[in-house]
Amino acid sequence: MENRGLPKDSDFDLMSEPSQRSHYIYMDHHATTPVDPRVLREMLPYFTERYGNPAGRNHAFGLEAEEAVEAARGRLAHLIGARTKEIIFTSGATESDNLAIRGVASFYEGKGDHIITSAVEHKAVLDTCKELERKGARITILPVDRDGLVDPEQVRNAITDRTILISIIFANNEIGTIQLVEKIGRIAAEKEVFFHTDATQAVGKIPVDVDFMHMDLLSFSAHKMYGPKGVGALFVRARNPRVRLHPILYGGGHERGLRSGTLNVPGIVGFGMACLIAEEVMEEEGERLLHLRTRLRNTLFRELDQVYLNGPWTGRLQGNLNLSFAQVAGESLLTGLRGIAVSSGSACTSAIPEPSYVLQAIGVPEDLARSSIRFGLGRFNTREEVDIVADEVIRAVRSLREMSSPYEPVTKTA
Ligand SMILES: *Cc1c(COP(=O)(O)O)cnc(C)c1O
């Protein structure tokens, strides 16, 4: 019979180590992460045995699913210092950002129409704000300094009596900059303006505490922290102050009416386990990643000249390294790298790659923005992999520079 791609039972090897499955070295953990095998193991029964709908409480299947969802909710809440009922499950951080910003803007329409955000937000925040602006809201996009930091005093000065929300990213997905969120939160609380943060890159990597940091809304996502794709959460403060918002999806009134739709039970269970693991390993993993990042930077800086660090060295996510390589044509850099998965500083959504708006916001010249590499180190990367990646980048940069040298004179920088 013709094989149309239907798998046989023997094809399944669900528990294999993610990093061993391909000969590629994966160093793009800001884009997504592999599911931790412990997370997958926790999820599996919820596909095949415990498949109840948590909204259907009139039999054991539903109750079992509901219990699992509530246990996961508790794990998420614990990781960020929230109360269990303050967690709303969504399909990911994009939805959480939309729900937070559009939900607050709509509910508090009568109170004000001004939102403060920054130039280095994820598109899920920036494009949502731009859409609201099109509909008449006023948006202030604050600039950042060379490290990618928002000045909290500029946040204070931007607040008017029409301001209803401040939305500032916790840790940047391109250059890893960790914002002074606690200071911004204190200003927001003092001025009685809600503070939302997109903490997708921060949760599970660095300590997050919504009370200490005065956060009113916080978005995060499972697939950036070794959980599955398609599940995220929004923290919505329940008291001191209570945040109210309008939903963006209407239906059965799930999630306290804020997000209708049958819950992604296996995904949520996996998200819960990812949070439990993160709490356990965060400190040690952070130290290990910082060590690997330092090794990678040191090797590249030793072997190559005209390499520039984008973003700060401290106050940065441990697994993030973003470098620009001068005298290399941006388009050829990524394609010239063999066997390693990293990202570049240009979005290849069009024929001509656009240099990253985040790198432009911190003042990186266009050509250097184009010839940048974002390394995103993660849980399963080893020291050996770091050395292979370093060797490959050195080889590629040297060979590209040799190729271009007859045509492009090397500009001497003083
Ligand atoms: C990945 C990411 C998002 C989008 O998350 P999804 O769950 O993929 O929708 C939003 N913000 C930041 C900072 C991210 O890194």
Beta carbons within 10 angstroms of residue 40's beta carbon: 19
Distance 91 CA to ligand 1 centre (A): 11
Q: How far apart are CA 293 and CA 30, in angstroms?
A: 14
Mutate which of 101, 126, 177, 221 to test ligand 1's pocket (most atoms within 8 Å of Cβ)?
Answer: 221
Nearest alpha carbon, ligand 1 atom 5: 93
Cβ of 140 below 6 Å from ligand 1: no
CA-CA-CA-CA dihedral for 35, 40, 41, 47, to nearest 10:
180
Nearest alpha carbon, ligand 1 atom 3: 93
Beta bridge partners of 341: 26
348 noted as active-site residue: yes
Nearest alpha carbon, ligand 1 atom 7: 92
pLDDT the model gives residue 414 = 43
Residue 171 CA, closest ligand 1 atom number: 13
Locate 287 and state its tokens. Answer: 């130290």
Element (H, E) at 116: strand 114-118
Which pLDDT tens digits describe the chain residue by residue (414 residues)?
Answer: 566 777 776 655 655 555 555 689 999 999 999 999 999 999 999 999 999 999 988 899 999 999 999 999 999 999 999 999 999 999 999 999 999 999 999 999 999 999 999 999 999 999 999 999 999 999 999 999 999 999 999 999 999 999 999 999 999 999 999 999 999 999 999 999 999 999 999 999 999 999 999 999 999 999 999 999 999 999 999 999 999 999 999 999 999 999 999 999 999 999 999 999 999 999 999 999 999 999 999 999 999 999 999 999 999 999 999 999 999 987 788 888 999 999 987 665 555 678 999 999 999 999 999 999 999 999 999 999 999 999 999 999 999 999 876 545 555 444
pLDDT the model gives residue 7 = 73
Cβ of 93 below 6 Å from ligand 1: yes
Cβ of 173 below 6 Å from ligand 1: yes
Residue matched to tokens 């095998």: 37
Nearest alpha carbon, ligand 1 atom 9: 94
Residue 30 CA, closest ligand 1 atom number: 15
Which residues are within 8 A (CB) of 115 and not within 5 positions of it... i.e. 6 or more apart?
101, 105, 129, 132, 137, 138, 139, 140, 163, 164, 165, 166, 167
pLDDT the model gives residue 412 = 46
Cβ of 92 below 6 Å from ligand 1: yes
pLDDT the model gives residue 404 = 73
CATH 3.40.640.10 domain span(s) along the chain: 39-275
Quick one: how far is CA 311 from the chain centroid? 16
Rg, C-alpha atoms of the chain: 23
Q: How many residues does the chain have?
A: 414
Distance 404 CA to ligand 1 centre (A): 36
Give the residue among 148, 197, 179, 93 at the shortest CA–CA distance from 357.
Answer: 148
pLDDT the model gives residue 354 = 83
Mutate which of 224, 229, 271 to test ligand 1's pocket (most atoms within 8 Å of Cβ)?
Answer: 224
Distance 30 CA to ligand 1 centre (A): 9
CATH 3.90.1150.10 domain span(s) along the chain: 17-35+282-402
Distance 391 CA to ligand 1 centre (A): 30
Which residues are within 8 A (CB) of 335 and not within 5 positions of it... i.e. 6 or more apart?
none
Distance 202 CA to ligand 1 centre (A): 11
Q: How far apart are CA 223 and CA 233, in angstroms?
A: 11
Which residues are within 8 A (CB) of 51 and not within 5 positions of it... i.e. 6 or more apart?
61, 65, 265
The catalytic residue among 67, 348, 383, 405 is 348
**CATH 3.30.70.2610 is right for the domain spanning 17-35+282-402:** no
Mutate which of 32, 98, 122 to test ligand 1's pocket (most atoms within 8 Å of Cβ)?
Answer: 122
Give the residue among 96, 120, 209, 108 at the shortest CA–CA distance from 165.
Answer: 108
Cβ of 200 below 6 Å from ligand 1: yes
Cβ of 233 below 6 Å from ligand 1: no
Residue 229 CA, closest ligand 1 atom number: 7
Q: How far apart are CA 353 and CA 341, in angstroms?
A: 18
Nearest alpha carbon, ligand 1 atom 14: 200
Cβ of 221 below 6 Å from ligand 1: yes
Topology at the third CATH level for domain 39-275: Aspartate Aminotransferase; domain 2 (3.40.640)
pLDDT the model gives residue 12 = 59
Mutate which of 32, 169, 178, 200 to test ligand 1's pocket (most atoms within 8 Å of Cβ)?
Answer: 200
Residue 232 CA, closest ligand 1 atom number: 7
Q: What is the pTM of this model?
A: 0.94
349-366 burial string, b = 16+ CB within 10 Å, else e? eeeebebbbbbbbbebee
